[in-house]
């Protein structure tokens, strides 16, 4: 694994002139407002590592967690103190599967921008170009404690396009929401959706084997494209070396770069390990074949999404280091979800794999803590040894890991972004509501004080409703 | 004791029983799901015959020790599709709507129901003992008649085939009336008027002395039953202005029993609902402004209706694909201000009363023995029924999903505490 990483780093350095920057990454302009130093005291704190809660404090400075500790440990002297007695403190909830902004409310066709269902391979589209920042569903998710979320293209296509990770903040632009430094994801899809959408147009894929033929063809094209650029890089390096000395007999001309191909850039980004694969896949047997596919083309699947049958292959997910992002109890709405069980998430966890609870729903995203609680209880009824604290990792640490932002957020640790939620009750209770939500140390939501973003859409027609 | 309980479940299976059961130490939860009087419940021939302390049965009585756990009446879901589709997304397996007809009042979903559905034990696992199986509109605002069901597999599944006539007047339903909601409402009122004319001239109609009606006989008879109050009219409508219009239009029929469903903006027109005592069925979790009819959708609607004194029941909405749990909706309503006791009533006694389900939704002497024994606070998402009774018979709680989970516990050799 480590060696592979080193190889990749070397390759990256080799290709640095074009992979060093992501072309077309319209830079994040997100900046947390006015940073204040403050300390939250007397909260029941769960840092999101599955270790269980403790009574303690957390100090925030410059938008980062400065320090945290239990009540009997000495804390820094900070003027602004927030007494959180009777409240529970967790890391911000992270939803790895959302379509907010791409499928906003109101949900008219004029607004429905989540699925470029015109060709089975649309790796060239980027979800961020569809996000409507004024979607009133963002503040509803914030009231549910969601501080960061991944917006994915839909699942009609084998390759749906690039995802984007957002901070759940009000902004005029999507650039103002983009999570600084978060890697891009690539949405892929197995099973019924691609074969239904294109099969019904008498076009490939019309079957699951058609799906696989489509993936493989695209990866072969991507390998070709990668080689073409590698050749160009080599000859460019040779030219640069020659130009600096002008030694040697034969005159060299500066090579011209191949024409950019947006579709291939995204796929090569995956092969280079820069873009994370988020693969919509329900059935266990299909997930197993996707893992083999990733080995054929030497890339890593970061997470299977929906993964309704992940409980059948938890061991396989663990050994291949693939996360499964799941619902607590959605099932039955299509044939490939018919084997859904309420203990899916805890069984994946118990098998040692990275389990995540996701929403894929503008309603569900408001209550991801309850979804985790349902899954937890189902696992406990089955006899699995699990705690509330384990269930919290499905919403925080593991989600951050799958988005490649665990070094920034997802757990409460010194130096990390101060993305925090204060809950009214233990977070796994149906009665728990987020009382306050902080993103990078800025209080974005305060239920008691009525502080929270109101989108442009809501102004004058819905602003009285949280 | 535990083994004995499990054995009971097996022996009694899922048929309605005419047995004699004593549930000892049942906690009749009231204020918060954890406190309440502990009582014994004596059940005979499907009904609760006595409630008291230290009750003794006869030699035939089978004892079930609830061990002071919370016991509630069986929950009632006012909007389900269980029995109409095994897999909802497979259009070919769904029987809940009819197309090609601009008047489907006579359509009853009851004849299509699958009483062997593997989804039935899932409802039991959420503590739901009764459901209203609701038709969706195909090409007509009048979508057809819902059925009421008992959640037991087998021939006792269907309870009533003409539970209510469903009329859809939400934003997207105007297309069935040529594109305007104004016409959709006036056509619905006209249909009821037409039914009245038909009734007044029935003899002339029978002897062929009358022009044929534009509406089929089946539909006319259905509409007549709605006019007379024999069957309620359930109007699915969201916008405040439309709710007012619907109330005005249908309360003009003096015997008609009007129920509103969905009703995202009902909280804005509570005075109109109160004036005519119109009950409302709401989806407690659906607060999205998905269209301009639902700009007022909010999570605390249950609390607002309760505060205003409007009768309302919570329904699950999309029950067995998305949010399985009716108790979750009730719990969320409590988190958003509704009193705990009101939340429980909104999934038990109130829907029973709205639908005219006699003897259901409450734990009273003489009531039908639909009972749920819970592992904890019934409204907590972590709680689950440990035993469920429908009209005196224990129901099967083992699902196909349980079998799958257990199989893969073994396949993966996962460690359990047992």
pLDDT of residue A251: 82
Residue A73 lies in a domain: yes
Mean pLDDT of B134-153: 96
Specify the pTM: 0.94
Report the pLDDT value the prediction gives residue A426, as an integer from 0 to 100.
98
What percent of chain B shows pLDDT beyond 70? 94
Can you give the pLDDT at residue B320? 56
CA distance, residue B55 to nearest chain A CA (Å)? 31
State pLDDT tens for residues B238-273: 999 999 999 999 999 999 999 999 999 999 999 999
Supply φ then ψ for residue B106, to 5 degrees.
Answer: -75, -10
Q: At residue A2, does pLDDT exceed 80?
A: no
Percentage of chain A lying above the pLDDT 70 cut: 94
With beta carbons less than 8 A apart as the criterion, state whether B279 and B350 touch.
yes
pLDDT-derived band at A465, boundaries 50, 70, 90: low
Q: How many domains does chain A have?
A: 1
d(CA B199, CA B204): 10
Of B297, B284, B312, the closest CA to residue B239 belongs to B297
Instruction: Note the pLDDT of residue B70.
Output: 98
pLDDT tens track for A89-105: 999 999 999 999 999 99
Rg (CA), chain B: 22
Higher per-residue confidence, B316 vs A297: A297
Rounded to the nearest angstrom, the gap between the alpha carbon of residue B302 and the centroid of all alpha carbons in its chain is: 17
| Weakest-pLDDT range from A170-174, A319-323, B18-22 | B18-22
With beta carbons less than 8 A apart as the criterion, state whether A158 and A448 touch.
Answer: no
A·B CB contacts under 8 A: 150
Q: Between chains, do B321 and A347 touch, taking CB under 8 Å as contact?
A: no
Distances (CA, A) of A453 to A55, B47, B65: 30, 53, 51
Mutation target to probe the B interface, by most B beta carbons within 10 A, among A430, A450, A460, A466 is A430
A26-35, B121-130, B144-153: range with lowest mean pLDDT: A26-35
Answer whether A106 touches B (CB < 8 Å): yes
Residues A395-415: tens digit of each pLDDT: 999 999 999 999 999 999 999
Which of chain B's residues have a Cβ under 8 Å away from the Cβ of A383?
A: 409, 416-418
pLDDT at residue B8 is higher than 50: no
Q: How far is B93 from chain A (nearest CA, A)?
A: 11
CB B382 within 8 A of CB B78: no
Residue numbers in B near A367 (CB within 8 A): 285, 332
Which residue of chain A comes nearest to B298, CA vs CA? A465
Domain boundaries along the sequence of chain B = 2-72+389-409, 74-360
The stretch B133-144 carries a mean pLDDT of 96
How large is the average pLDDT for residues A145-165?
98
Average pLDDT of chain A, as a whole number: 94
Give the confidence band of B2 by pLDDT, cuts at 50, 70, 90. Answer: very low
Tell me the nearest-neighbour CA distance from A358 into chain B, angstroms: 13
CA distance A126 to chain B (A): 24
Q: For B385, phi and psi rounded to 5 degrees?
A: -65, 140
* pLDDT for the residue numbered B88: 80
Percent of chain A scoring above 90 in pLDDT: 89
Peptide bond into B21 cis (omega under 30): no
Residue A248 resides in a domain: no
- Judged by CB atoms closer than 8 Å, whether chains meet at A333 and B383 is answered as no
| pLDDT-wise least confident of A6-10, A120-124, A368-372, B337-341 | A6-10
Identical fold for domains B2-72+389-409 and B74-360, yes or no, is no
CATH code, domain with A67: 3.20.20.140
Residue range A118-142, pLDDT digits in tens: 999 999 999 999 999 999 999 999 9
B320–A331 C-beta distance less than 8 A: yes
Position A20 scores a pLDDT of 42
Q: How far is A465 from chain B (nearest CA, A)?
A: 7
What pLDDT, in 10s, does the model give residues B45-66?
A: 999 999 999 999 889 999 999 9
For A445, residues 6+ apart whose C-beta sits below 8 A from its C-beta are A139, A142, A143, A434, A436, A437, A451, A452, A453
Average pLDDT over residues A140-165: 98
**pLDDT tens sequence across B276-309:** 999 999 998 989 999 999 999 999 999 999 999 9
Q: Would you tell me which residues 361-420 of chain A have a C-beta closer than 8 angstroms to some C-beta of chain B?
A: 361-364, 366-367, 370, 373-374, 376-377, 380-385
Q: Is the pLDDT of residue B323 over 80?
A: no
Return the pLDDT at A6: 47
Residue B219 token pair:
């539909």
Question: Which pLDDT score is estimated for B9?
Answer: 43
The answer to whether residue A463 is domain-embedded is no
Residue B128, beta-bridge partner list: B75
- Contacting residues for A316 by C-beta, under 8 A, at least 6 apart: A287, A288, A291
Partner B, chain A 217-236, Cβ-Cβ below 8 Å: none
Whether B203 contacts chain A with CB within 8 A: no
Of chain B, the percentage scoring pLDDT greater than 90 comes to 83
Q: Tell me: ipTM over 0.90.
A: yes
Highest mean pLDDT among A151-160, A244-253, B203-212: A151-160
| Contact assessment for residue A186 and residue A267, using Cβ atoms and an 8 Å cutoff | yes
Residue A255, in any domain of the structure: no
As a whole number of angstroms, the distance between CA B109 and CA B88 comes to 15
pLDDT (0 to 100) of residue B101: 83
B84 Cα to chain A: minimum distance (Å): 13
**pLDDT value at position B89?**
79
Interface of A with B in 316-355 (CB under 8 A): 329-335, 337-343, 347, 350-351
Closest Cβ opposite residue B381 in set A351, A374, A382: A374
Range of the domain at A17: 2-211+261-446
Q: B2-72+389-409, what's its fold?
A: Urease, subunit C; domain 1 (2.30.40)
Q: Which residues contact A413 (CB under 8 A, 6 or more apart)?
A: A47, A65, A68
- A466 interfaces chain B, CB cutoff of 8 Å: yes
Taking the Cβ of residue A310 and every Cβ of chain B, the question of whether any pair is shorter than 8 Å is answered with: no
- Whether residues B409 and A376 touch (CB distance < 8 A) is answered with no
pLDDT for the residue numbered B6: 42
The pLDDT score that the predictor gives to residue B317 is 67
A246 belongs to a structural domain:
no
- The per-residue pLDDT for A34 is 72
The partner residue sitting opposite A462, judged by closest CB among B295, B335, B402, is B295
CA A237 to chain centre: 36
- Distance between A190 CA and the closest CA of chain B, angstroms: 17
pLDDT at residue B165 is higher than 50: yes
Which architecture does CATH list for B74-360? Alpha-Beta Barrel (3.20)
Q: Give the pair of three-digit tokens for residue A55.
A: 């009574």
- What pLDDT sits at residue A370? 97
pLDDT above 80 (res B311)? yes
Q: What confidence category does residue A1 fall into, taking pLDDT thresholds of 50, 70 and 90?
A: very low
Return the residue of A nearest to B292 by Cα.
A106
Q: Which two tokens stand for residue B286?
A: 């659906």
Give the minimum alpha-carbon distance from B16 to chain A in angstroms, rounded to a whole number. 27
A245 within some domain = no
Q: Kindly indicate the confidence band of residue A10, based on its pLDDT and cuts at 50, 70 and 90.
A: very low
Residue A249, domain member (yes or no): no
pLDDT on residue A191 = 96
pLDDT, averaged across chain B: 92
Q: How much is the pLDDT for A83?
A: 98
User: Chain A residue with minimal CA distance to B335?
Assistant: A431
Distance CA A436, CA B391 (A): 46
pLDDT digits (tens, 9 = 90+) for B13-48: 444 566 899 999 999 998 888 899 999 999 999 999
Interface of B with A in 283-312 (CB under 8 A): 285-292, 294-299
């Amino acid at each position: 694994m480590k060696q592979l990483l080193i190889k990749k780093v070397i390759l990256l350095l080799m290709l640095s002139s074009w992979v060093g920057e992501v072309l077309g990454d319209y830079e994040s302009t997100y900046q947390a407002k006015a940073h204040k130093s403050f300390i939250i005291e007397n909260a029941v704190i769960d840092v999101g590592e599955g270790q269980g809660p403790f009574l303690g404090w957390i100090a925030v400075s410059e938008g980062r967690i400065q320090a945290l500790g239990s009540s009997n440990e000495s804390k820094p002297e900070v003027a602004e103190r927030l007494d959180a007695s009777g409240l529970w403190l967790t890391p911000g909830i992270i939803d790895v599967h959302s379509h907010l902004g791409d499928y906003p409310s109101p949900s008219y066709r004029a607004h429905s921008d989540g699925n470029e269902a015109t060709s089975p391979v649309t790796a060239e589209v980027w979800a961020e170009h569809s996000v409507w920042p004024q979607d009133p569903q963002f503040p509803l998710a914030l009231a549910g404690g969601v501080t960061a979320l991944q917006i994915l293209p839909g699942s009609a296509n084998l390759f749906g396009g690039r995802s984007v990770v957002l901070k759940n903040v009000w902004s005029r632009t999507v650039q103002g929401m983009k999570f600084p430094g978060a890697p891009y994801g690539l949405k892929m899809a197995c099973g019924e959706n691609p074969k239904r959408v294109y099969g019904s147009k008498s076009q490939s894929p019309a079957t699951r084997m058609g799906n696989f033929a489509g993936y493989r063809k695209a990866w072969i094209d991507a390998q070709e494209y990668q080689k073409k650029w590698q050749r160009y890089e080599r000859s460019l390096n040779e030219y640069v070396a020659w130009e600096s000395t002008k030694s040697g007999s034969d005159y060299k001309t500066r090579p011209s770069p191949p024409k950019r191909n947006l579709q291939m850039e995204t796929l090569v980004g995956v092969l280079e390990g820069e873009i994370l694969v988020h693969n919509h896949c329900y059935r266990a047997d299909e997930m197993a074949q996707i893992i083999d596919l990733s080995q054929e083309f030497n890339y890593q699947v970061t997470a299977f999404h929906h993964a309704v049958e992940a409980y059948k292959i938890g061991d396989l997910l663990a050994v291949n280091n693939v996360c499964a992002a799941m619902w607590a109890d959605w099932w039955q709405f299509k044939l490939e979800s018919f084997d859904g069980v309420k203990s899916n998430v805890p069984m994946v966890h118990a098998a040692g794999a990275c389990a995540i609870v996701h929403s894929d729903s503008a309603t569900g995203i408001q209550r991801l803590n309850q979804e985790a609680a349902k899954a937890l209880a189902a696992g406990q009824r089955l006899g699995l040894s699990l705690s509330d604290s384990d269930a919290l990792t499905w919403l925080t640490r593991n989600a951050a890991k799958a988005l490649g932002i665990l070094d920034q957020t997802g757990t409460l640790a010194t130096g990390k972004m101060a993305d925090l939620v204060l809950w009214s009750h233990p977070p796994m209770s149906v009665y728990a509501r987020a009382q306050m939500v902080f993103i990078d140390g800025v209080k974005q939501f305060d239920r008691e004080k009525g502080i929270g973003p109101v989108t442009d859409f809501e102004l004058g027609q819905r602003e009285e409703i949280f | 004791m535990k083994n004995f309980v499990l054995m009971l479940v097996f022996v009694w299976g899922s048929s309605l029983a005419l047995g004699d059961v004593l549930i000892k130490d049942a906690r009749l939860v009231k204020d918060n799901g954890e406190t309440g009087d502990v009582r014994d419940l004596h059940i005979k021939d499907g009904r609760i015959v006595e409630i008291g302390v230290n009750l003794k049965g006869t030699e035939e009585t089978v004892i079930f020790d609830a061990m002071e756990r919370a016991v509630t009446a069986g929950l009632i879901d006012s909007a389900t599709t269980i029995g109409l589709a095994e897999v909802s997304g497979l259009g070919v397996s769904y029987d809940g709507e009819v197309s090609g007809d601009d008047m489907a009042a006579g359509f009853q979903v009851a004849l299509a129901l699958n009483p062997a559905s593997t989804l039935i034990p899932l409802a039991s696992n959420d503590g739901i003992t009764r459901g209203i199986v609701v038709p969706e509109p195909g090409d007509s605002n009048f979508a057809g008649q819902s059925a009421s069901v008992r959640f037991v597999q087998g021939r006792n599944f269907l309870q009533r085939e003409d539970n209510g006539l469903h009329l859809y007047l939400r934003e997207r339903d105007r297309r069935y009336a040529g594109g305007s909601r104004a016409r959709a409402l006036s056509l619905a009122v006209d249909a009821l008027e037409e039914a009245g004319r038909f009734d007044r001239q029935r003899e002339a109609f029978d002897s062929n002395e009358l022009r044929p009606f534009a509406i089929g006989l089946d539909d006319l008879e259905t509409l007549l039953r709605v006019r007379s109050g024999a069957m309620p009219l359930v109007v699915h409508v969201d916008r405040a202005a439309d709710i007012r219009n619907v109330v005005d239009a249908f309360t003009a029929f003096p015997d008609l029993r009007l129920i509103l469903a969905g009703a995202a903006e009902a909280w804005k027109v509570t005075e109109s609902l109160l004036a005519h005592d119109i009950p409302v069925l709401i989806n407690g979790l659906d607060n999205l402004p998905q269209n301009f009819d639902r700009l007022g959708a909010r999570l605390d609607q249950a609390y607002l209706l309760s505060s205003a004194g409007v009768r309302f029941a919570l329904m699950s909405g999309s029950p067995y694909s998305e949010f399985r749990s009716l108790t979750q909706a009730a719990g969320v309503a409590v988190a958003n201000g509704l009193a705990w006791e009101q939340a429980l009533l909104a999934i038990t006694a109130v829907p029973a009363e709205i639908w005219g389900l006699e003897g259901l939704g409450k734990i009273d002497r003489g009531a039908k023995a639909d009972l749920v024994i819970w592992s904890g606070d019934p409204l907590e998402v972590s709680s689950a029924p440990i035993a469920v009774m429908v009209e005196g018979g224990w129901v099967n709680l083992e699902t196909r999903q349980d079998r799958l989970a257990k199989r893969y516990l073994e396949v993966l050799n996962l460690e359990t505490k047992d």
